[in-house]
Amino acid sequence: MGNNLDRDSKYVNIENFDLSWYFNIEGIKMSDEEMKYINPLAKAYSSKMWEKYISHRHHHFEQLDSEDKLPPLAKMDYNWLDDLGNGIYEDFSNYLLKSINYNQQDTVLAFWLKDYAVETEWRFFIKHWSEFLFDQGAILINISSEQILMFCSNGTLLKGINSLN
């Protein structure tokens, strides 16, 4: 990703990540093999990436306004919260595959707050989106792509072009 941080200052162990419970909920718990695809960012690195791509002023993406770095975002025609609430995960996975032009191996950053993010692969996010998206939503940055995805707490999915690349 073009940074000067070493691995020890970029990531934290999943056991030390405050939001690790997202990936350990009974019934949707990931296997140890799958957990290898979840790389929690250290708070300092997460904050640095948030400020680079999202905002210097706000800590949560639903507080963003026109003075922040995100471009205008277009509403997409899918409500992910409906599938989450009904336990229907495959429909939204298929929608993401068809609607979002990412390469399967692309690295994405999933942010919940300025200091809380993980790095994973797009294909893994698609497969396990329900472990990343809770009532508070998330924002997804694909640094190698032009697209940004915002999963709002009301189930709205927004997409935009990252003009910062």
Q: Render pLDDT for 6-16 as a digit per residue (tens, 0 to 9).
A: 556 899 998 88
pLDDT grade for 2, boundaries at 50, 70 and 90: very low
Provide the pLDDT confidence category of residue 69 given band limits of 50, 70 and 90.
low
Find, among 5, 58, 56, the residue nearest to 164 by Cα: 56
Q: Quick check: 111 pLDDT over 70? A: yes
| pLDDT confidence of residue 26 | 64
For position 65, what pLDDT does the model report?
Answer: 63
Share of the chain above pLDDT 70, in %: 79
Residues 6+ apart with CB under 8 A from 12: 40, 41, 42, 43
How many other CB atoms are found less than 10 A from the CB of residue 82? 12
Please give the backbone phi and psi of residue 36, each rounded to the nearest 5 degrees, phi first. -65, -20
Least confident of 21-30, 80-89, 128-137: 21-30
Asked if residue 141 has pLDDT above 70, the reply is yes
Q: Which two tokens stand for residue 139?
A: 């924002």
